[in-house]
């Protein structure tokens, strides 16, 4: 019998997306300009409660422009959380800058503030003072906001906040995306809301937003002909995609509730299974969208069951799961760059698994997941 695939994190339309896309067609704004773009940006700005937002065609583009806005140039050093998706680090290389990778700490799995400071001190001594710090809220869990900000300010280094996975997450009541000197969202297909592909750059000032839009639309000077004094990019979001985004904003909070319910489902499922820990926020200051629920498996306690045993058992039932992000300093393309830290990120990668977490998973999907887990661990 063929079983439907259960995805890790599938797109989930709310219902009014087509209405806004239709409006774009009706008004013939099939372009990277139009009402949906303006409204999607306004919706995001209202949601954040402060800050300015420019929507782009990917989160990666937003990171690239963010680094440019922070003044990163060829030859500069940029600090980057090692445990992340490669899209956090690639734009550093697009600019000809040099990434330096930093280990995670075990409570948020994000940038370790202690190693961060050690690295900065060492790099300054080597006359390679970092131009920016790229910090990530992995799986929607905020990084150590206060400690990272303290270190960044102590050495006057700006933070690029990769909030691609953390739309709707918050720390001490303030929304993720607004903590960095520049922030970034992604609306790719697997993220908490999707525009099929898309991203946003979040800036503290209207002037920086205008500058981001200028660079994202080929850096055209004011002139009747095409006049350019700077290198530009073609990074603006399409008015069609922005229509999807407007519809998705109407269901963002309900998507977050659903993902948080999935997290509760897994807490319950693994409660009595020794050797499996469901990743949770460290304390009540942290609010997370639980974009993905993740677990760590200790094979010394589970009679040898590893994250790979569980992944393959799920795959057998057509259920998608995935190891945690493989740290950048272990990636063939980045392994020759400097790394500071020990083996926390590496150990997380070796023992961790991301579980199906979509906001559109059904009770039946949950039962299928549950029966695989129980069969495996009750043997
Ligand atoms: C998804 C993601 C990105 C890239 O966003 P795209 O929209 O896919 O380009 C960057 N960083 C992290 C941590 C991500 O998860």
pLDDT in tens, 318-368: 999 999 999 999 999 999 999 999 999 999 999 999 999 999 999 999 999
Rounded to the nearest angstrom, the distance between the alpha carbon of 183 and the centre of ligand 1 is: 12
Which DSSP string corresponds to 309-337?
HHHHHHHHTTB--EEPPPPGGGSTTTTTS
Rounded to the nearest angstrom, the distance between the alpha carbon of 303 and the centre of ligand 1 is: 36
Pocket of ligand 1 contains residue 294 by CB under 6 Å: no
Rounded Cα–Cα distance for residues 334 and 378 (Å): 41
Atom of ligand 1 nearest to the CA of 190: 1
**pLDDT over 90 for what percent of the chain?**
99
Which residues does 236 contact at the CB level (< 8 Å), separation at least 6? 32, 33, 37, 55, 56, 57, 213, 216, 217
Question: Nearest to residue 324, comparing CAs of 142, 104, 169, 170?
Answer: 104
Rounded Cα–Cα distance for residues 74 and 221 (Å): 24
The residue nearest atom 6 of ligand 1, judged by CA position, is 59
Question: Nearest to residue 100, comparing CAs of 341, 350, 332, 326?
Answer: 341
Domain ranges of the chain: 17-251, 253-378
Q: How many CA atoms lie within 13 A of 291 on its CB side?
A: 25
- What is the pLDDT confidence band of residue 268, given thresholds at 50, 70 and 90? very high
Length of the chain: 379
Atom of ligand 1 nearest to the CA of 187: 7
Domains 17-251 and 253-378 share a fold: no
Over the chain, what is the mean pLDDT? 97
Within 10 angstroms of residue 143's Cβ, the number of other Cβ atoms is 29
Question: Nearest to residue 12, comparing CAs of 294, 321, 260, 247?
Answer: 247
Q: Does residue 2 carry a pLDDT above 80?
A: no
- Please give the pLDDT value at position 379: 67
Query: Which residue in the block uniquely carries the two structure tokens 């200051």?
Result: 285
- What is the pLDDT confidence band of residue 378, given thresholds at 50, 70 and 90? confident
The tokens describing 214, both together, are 């200028």
Rounded Cα–Cα distance for residues 40 and 53 (Å): 9
**pLDDT over 70 for what percent of the chain?**
99
- What is the pLDDT confidence band of residue 3, given thresholds at 50, 70 and 90? confident
Q: Assign 110 to helix, strand or coil.
A: coil
Give residue-wise pLDDT tens across range 273-309: 999 999 999 999 999 999 999 999 999 999 999 999 9
Pocket of ligand 1 contains residue 186 by CB under 6 Å: yes
Pocket of ligand 1 contains residue 164 by CB under 6 Å: yes
The residue nearest atom 5 of ligand 1, judged by CA position, is 59
Pocket of ligand 1 contains residue 161 by CB under 6 Å: no
Question: Nearest to residue 157, comparing CAs of 132, 174, 190?
Answer: 132
Question: Nearest to residue 109, comparing CAs of 324, 277, 262?
Answer: 324
Atom of ligand 1 nearest to the CA of 60: 9
Q: Does residue 1 carry a pLDDT above 60?
A: no
Q: Which CATH number fits domain 17-251: 3.40.640.10, 2.40.30.30, 3.40.50.300, 3.90.100.10?
A: 3.40.640.10
* Contact (CB, 8 A) for 244 and 195: yes
Which among 63, 65, 80, 85 is the best mutation to test ligand 1's pocket, defined by most ligand atoms within 8 Å of the CB? 85
Give residue-wise pLDDT tens across range 78-123: 999 999 999 999 999 999 999 999 999 999 999 999 999 999 999 9
Alpha helices by DSSP H, 2-144: 17-27, 35-48, 59-69, 86-94, 113-125
Record: fold of 253-378:
3.90.1150
Q: Is the pTM of this model over 0.95?
A: yes
Q: Does residue 238 carry a pLDDT above 70?
A: yes
Q: Assign 200 to helix, strand or coil.
A: strand
Rounded Cα–Cα distance for residues 269 and 237 (Å): 40
Pocket of ligand 1 contains residue 57 by CB under 6 Å: no
Within 10 angstroms of residue 12's Cβ, the number of other Cβ atoms is 18
Rounded Cα–Cα distance for residues 239 and 249 (Å): 15
């Amino acid at each position: 019998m063929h079983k439907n695939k259960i995805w890790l994190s599938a797109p989930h339309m709310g219902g009014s997306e087509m209405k806004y896309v239709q409006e774009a067609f009706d008004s013939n704004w099939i372009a990277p300009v139009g009402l949906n773009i303006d409204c999607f940006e306004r919706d995001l700005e209202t949601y954040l409660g402060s800050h300015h937002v420019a929507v782009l065609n990917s989160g990666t583009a937003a990171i690239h422009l963010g680094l440019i806005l922070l003044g990163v140039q060829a030859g500069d050093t940029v600090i980057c959380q090692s445990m992340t998706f490669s899209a956090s680090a690639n734009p550093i290389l697009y600019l000809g800058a040099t990434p330096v990778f930093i280990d995670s700490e075990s409570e948020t799995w994000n940038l370790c503030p202690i190693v961060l400071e050690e690295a900065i001190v060492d790099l300054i001594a080597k006359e390679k003072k970092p131009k920016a710090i790229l910090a990530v809220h992995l799986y929607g869990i905020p990084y150590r906001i206060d400690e990272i900000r303290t270190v960044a300010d102590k050495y006057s280094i700006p933070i690029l906040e990769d909030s691609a996975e953390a739309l709707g997450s918050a720390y001490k009541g303030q929304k993720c995306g607004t903590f960095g000197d520049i922030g970034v969202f992604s609306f790719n297909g697997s993220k908490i809301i999707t525009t099929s592909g898309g991203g946003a750059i979040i800036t503290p000032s209207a002037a920086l937003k205008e500058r981001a839009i200028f660079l994202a639309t080929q850096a055209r000077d004011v002139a009747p002909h095409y006049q350019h004094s700077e290198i530009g990019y073609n990074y603006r979001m399409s008015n069609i995609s922005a229509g999807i985004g407007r519809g998705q904003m109407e269901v963002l909070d309900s998507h977050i509730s659903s993902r948080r319910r999935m997290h509760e489902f897994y807490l319950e499922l693994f409660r009595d299974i020794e050797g499996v820990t469901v990743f949770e926020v460290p304390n009540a200051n942290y609010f997370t969208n639980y974009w993905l629920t993740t677990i760590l498996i200790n094979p010394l306690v589970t009679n040898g069951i590893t994250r790979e045993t569980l992944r393959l058992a799920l795959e057998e039932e057509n259920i998608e799961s995935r190891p945690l992000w493989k740290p950048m300093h272990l990636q063939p393309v980045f392994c020759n760059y400097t790394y500071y830290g020990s083996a926390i990120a590496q150990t997380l990668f070796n023992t961790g698994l991301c579980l199906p977490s979509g906001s559109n998973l059904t009770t039946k999907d949950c039962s299928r997941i549950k029966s695989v887990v129980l069969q495996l661990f009750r043997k």
